[in-house]
Structure 1
Amino acid sequence: MNVFFACGSAKSGTTWLQRILDAHPEVCCSGEGHFVDRFSVPAAQVVNAYNRGLTNDGRMVYEGRPYYQGVDQAEFDEIVRGFIVKRLHARADNRTRWVGDKTPAYTRHLKQLLRLFPEARIFHIVRDPREVAVSRMGHSLRAGASEAMTPGAEQYRQTIEGAVRLWREAVTAVDAFAHEHPGVVHELRYVDLHADPRGEAEKMFGFLGVSTAPALIEQVVAATSFEALTGRPRGQEDLASFLRKGVLGDWKTRLDAESVQLIHERCGDLMREKRFAA
């Protein structure tokens, strides 16, 4: 089977992207595996300690002629690759042609993922940073930051600044990777997915080379609409839900003028590049 990874700055619509991909019978997209930050990086620390132990034993016990050599990069990559493949295939069936995982933080680890899987494909969803900031405010509120949506409060300011920093880091990293590896990344905008879910879904599945039959696309879109996923009409807000409201433009009433200015100052160049109107 073929492998792909889906990513984007947190609160950019990565979960919606995952649900759409996973709704196609030839595609299996799970989340969030965090295969790099929660497995590969800690495993590397274990292997480094193991290698140091081997070196010490070889010097102190075997006079510089140890029985085992240290684990090198190729062997370590094989270990990590095997773990990821097993995890990815856990939900696949005999119809599956592509297996993938959605983890927002992959924006920071695309080079490593491509080294492990040279034929992998990457999905990147990018959202207006003003919308991202509001979505992060709602997420912070659910996590216990009671004043995350209160203009003027310290939690509010910290949430906005964190959203801005992480958005810029993510978009910049993926842009650089896509420039170095033409054809590997399929980028879509959250606003376009809202405006034309059928068209965007067709492009996504076309990128993978799986069926884009109109009836199938219609089935996928219907199964992954806000209404289908939440049981609520679009626009009906539930601050306790991960899928909070499902509308665009909420930033116009949620963000104060100072926050909007901050976002424009720090992200304006990338917003223009991604065609987000100021």
Structure 2
Amino acid sequence: MSEEIEAVIRRLYDMPVFFVAGLPRSGTTWLQQMLNAHPQLLCLGESHFINDMVPGLYNVLWNFTKSRKNPERTWAPGVVGPQLDHMIPVLRMAFASLAAANLGERDIGALRAIGEKNPDNLYHAERIWRVFPDARIVHIIRDPRDGAISGFTRFRARLSQDLTRTQYVAAYAKDWASRIATARGLAKDRPYMEIRYEDLHADTSARAAEIFRFIGASDDPSDVTTATEAASFERLSGGRKQGEVDPASHYRRGEVGGWRDEMTPEEVSAAERAAGRMMAAMGYEVSAEGLAAALA
């Protein structure tokens, strides 16, 4: 049995790798479900591999390396601990092992790439490319007004009770603009793709096919249909139609532009002041007053 597992891990180790990134409530889970439903892809949920397992394993290896340099801990002949170049293959093998543990009944012979989604991947793109230089990153971007309203509703119980929704909207929008700019700077000459949530929503099949091609998977219509239907809002939400709101559900509303009937004018202004320049550049509607405030 162990030999079979080792063979699977070795095969997964050699596969192309991809990561899904985006701020919370931007559609990362929807995209993960879609990718994972493609017959040629394995896309893990939030394992926090990059921001949890990688630094944890690195620290173990580095502490070992430091201990081997301590003459008081070495009697005779000692060893040189692994340096960074030696650690990288260990980290990659750990990801392959994680993928193997979550392979389930999938046909490994059909797989073309393995990946993981985590909003935190957006904060750790440089680390991703340090460990996996050829990794493809798919960054899903949503109108920060919709993202902020959804986030405040979803995470309210975890937030400070003193935090107002207007303050949350402003902070979310500011981080949204900053993270897009940072990701673009890091992604120069690297395999990086941006997809707007709204575009994926408007023409799911066409946009999904583009993502599959970018990752290296089939864009055959039958494969696209299989993936997109498995990740439909109705299926993921347990039968609700788009627009039928369940505040307690991870799949809350499934619509574009819901902020228009949920946000106060003060909240809209806060979002536009914080991110109006980037919103306009991304093709999102911004008032003249909001854009002027953002540029001031």
Q: TM-score under structure 2 normalisation?
A: 0.82
Matched pairs, number: 267
Q: C-alpha distance in 2, partners of 1:66/1:164?
A: 57
Deviations 1:220-267 (A, max 9, x none): 222211111111011111111000011111212222222221211121
Deviations 1:142-173 (A, max 9, x none): x45597xxxxx634244324422432332122
Deviations 1:74-118 (A, max 9, x none): 122222111012112331522111111111111122222222222
**3-state DSSP of counterpart to 2:81:** coil
Change in 2 beyond 3 A, CA 1:51/1:211: closer
Q: C-alpha distance in 1, partners of 2:182/2:47?
A: 20
Percent identical across equivalent pairs?
32
Kept in 2: contact 1:30–1:101 (CA 8 A): yes
Kept in 2: contact 1:192–1:200 (CA 8 A): yes
Matched, 1:167 2:176: yes
Structure 1 stretch displaced more, 113-122 or 17-26: 113-122
Q: C-alpha distance in 1, partners of 2:160/2:55?
A: 33
Q: C-alpha distance in 2, partners of 1:163/1:220?
A: 30
Q: How does 1:33-44 map to 2 (within 5 A)?
A: 33-44=47-58
Structure 1 stretch displaced more, 159-168 or 203-212: 159-168
Q: C-alpha distance in 2, partners of 1:267/1:257?
A: 15
**3-state DSSP of counterpart to 1:69:** coil
Q: How does 1:44-83 map to 2 (within 5 A)?
A: 44-56=58-70, 58=71, 60=72, 67-83=78-94
Change in 2 beyond 3 A, CA 1:72/1:194: same
Deviations 1:190-236 (A, max 9, x none): 00011110111111112233322223322322221111111101111
Matched, 1:191 2:198: yes
Structure 2 unaligned spans of 5+ = 1-14, 287-296
Change in 2 beyond 3 A, CA 1:169/1:43: farther
Deviations 1:120-160 (A, max 9, x none): 2111101111111011012113x45597xxxxx63424432
Partner amino acid, structure 1, of 2:175 = L
Change in 2 beyond 3 A, CA 1:254/1:51: same
Q: C-alpha distance in 1, partners of 2:257/2:268?
A: 13
Matched, 1:245 2:216: no
Change in 2 beyond 3 A, CA 1:210/1:274: same
**3-state DSSP of counterpart to 1:47:** helix
Q: CA RMSD in A?
A: 2.2
Aligned to 2:151: 136
Deviations 1:30-87 (A, max 9, x none): 111211211112333333433333333x1x3659x86122331112222211101211
Q: TM-score under structure 1 normalisation?
A: 0.87
Aligned to 2:125: 110
Q: C-alpha distance in 2, partners of 1:169/1:35?
A: 23
Q: C-alpha distance in 1, partners of 2:168/2:271?
A: 12
Aligned to 2:233: 226
Matched, 1:277 2:285: yes
Q: C-alpha distance in 2, partners of 1:244/1:266?
A: 25
Residue of 17, 20, 25 corresponding to 2:39: 25
Q: C-alpha distance in 2, partners of 1:86/1:155?
A: 43
Q: C-alpha distance in 2, partners of 1:103/1:215?
A: 27
Structure 1 unaligned spans of 5+ = 148-152
Partner amino acid, structure 1, of 2:178 = E
**3-state DSSP of counterpart to 2:188:** helix
Partner amino acid, structure 2, of 1:95 = A
Aligned to 2:214: 207
**3-state DSSP of counterpart to 1:247:** coil
Q: C-alpha distance in 2, partners of 1:97/1:205?
A: 11
Kept in 1: contact 2:21–2:121 (CA 8 A): yes
Change in 2 beyond 3 A, CA 1:243/1:62: closer
Q: C-alpha distance in 2, partners of 1:234/1:62?
A: 65
